[in-house]
């Protein structure tokens, strides 16, 4: 079974530029998550999708971050414009269903450096 | 609000010795608790979870965790550590009945010394 795919693996941009990350979840997984992991911290949920609808985006900085999951499969997370504090690893995860006990499967992440 | 605390940033243990990685939580309601492991330049991998039932949960690679409701803890344990267990370990919590936000702790770096 193929895992969660993310691209690119690394991205370096200057502040005020825009950037986009792509995620392809495990086939058949209805739920998709985007997390931000700042160095030395645990992952923080940015947005959670159930199929192509948003379940939770309470911690997404909506003035600069946006995400979409067209057709309920792959997803794109965008930052525009980027700030220095956006430097982090952006993790995508997916799960088969959306229940409190579901197991999330993570991709390798995209490491973003904002200069 | 829900939260997780991992009081130790770093745990060092000799190979062959037992290891413990500590986790305490705070939720309003019954907790669902998880342990994930992260190797360098890789995503998080699921180790084990507690939902209900037996307080001692067994997971992958010989790891186990004990749920203690009175102490609001969910410590990760392994009887005999391997050098290959060296990694970053995260505890996470969700509230029973809620499919929303999984809250992670800040992580504990485990180093097993040969």
Say what the pLDDT of residue B38 is.
94
Name the band, by pLDDT with cuts 50, 70 and 90, for residue A1. low
Say what the pLDDT of residue B52 is.
86
Instruction: Report chain A residues whose CB lies below 8 A from the CB of B25.
Output: none
Q: Report CA dihedral (A98, A104, A107, A110) to the nearest 10 degrees.
A: 80
- Judged against a pLDDT cut of 90, whether residue B107 lies above it is answered with yes
From chain B, which residues contact A within 8 Å (Cβ)? 4, 32, 34, 36, 41-46, 49, 51, 90, 92, 94-102, 104-107
Q: DSSP assignment, residue B102? A: P
List the structure tokens of A63: 């003035």
d(CA A81, CA A75): 19
The total number of structural domains that make up chain B: 1
Say what the pLDDT of residue B99 is.
66
All domains in chain A, ordered by first residue: 17-97 (2.60.40.10)
- Judged against a pLDDT cut of 70, whether residue B110 lies above it is answered with yes
User: When comparing pLDDT for A98 and B12, which is higher?
Assistant: B12
Say what the pLDDT of residue B95 is.
84
* Of B45, B97, B102, Cβ closest to residue A45: B102
| Domain enclosing residue B100, as ranges | 3-113
CATH number at residue B12: 2.60.40.10
> Percent of chain B scored above 70 by pLDDT?
99
From chain A, which residues contact B within 8 Å (Cβ)? 4, 31, 33, 40-45, 48, 55-56, 58-59, 91, 93, 98-109
List, for residues A5-35, the tens digit of each pLDDT value: 999 999 999 999 999 999 999 999 999 999 9
- Measuring CA to CA, how many Å separate A43 from each of A33, B82, B93? 11, 26, 12
Name the band, by pLDDT with cuts 50, 70 and 90, for residue A94. very high
């Amino acid at each position: 079974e193929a895992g969660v795919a993310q691209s690119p693996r690394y991205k370096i941009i200057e502040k005020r530029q825009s950037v986009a990350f792509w995620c392809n979840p495990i086939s058949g997984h209805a739920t998709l998550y985007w997390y931000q992991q700042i160095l030395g911290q645990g992952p923080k949920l940015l947005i959670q999708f159930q199929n192509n609808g948003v379940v939770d985006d309470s911690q997404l900085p909506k003035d600069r971050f946006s995400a979409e999951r067209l057709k309920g499969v792959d997803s794109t997370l965008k930052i525009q414009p980027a700030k220095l504090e956006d430097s982090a690893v952006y993790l995508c995860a997916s799960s088969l269903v959306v229940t409190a006990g579901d197991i999330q499967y993570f991709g390798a992440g995209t490491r973003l450096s904002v200069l | 609000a829900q939260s997780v605390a991992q009081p130790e940033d770093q745990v060092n243990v000799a190979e062959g010795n037992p290891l413990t990685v500590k986790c305490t939580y705070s939720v309003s309601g019954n907790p669902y608790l998880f342990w994930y492991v992260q190797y360098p330049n890789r995503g998080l991998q699921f180790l084990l979870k507690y939902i209900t039932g037996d307080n001692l949960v067994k997971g992958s690679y010989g790891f186990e965790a004990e749920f203690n409701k009175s102490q609001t803890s969910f410590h990760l344990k392994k009887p005999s550590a391997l050098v290959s267990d060296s990694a970053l370990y995260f505890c996470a919590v969700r509230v029973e009945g809620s499919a929303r936000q999984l809250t992670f702790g800040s992580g504990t770096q485990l180093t097993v010394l040969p």
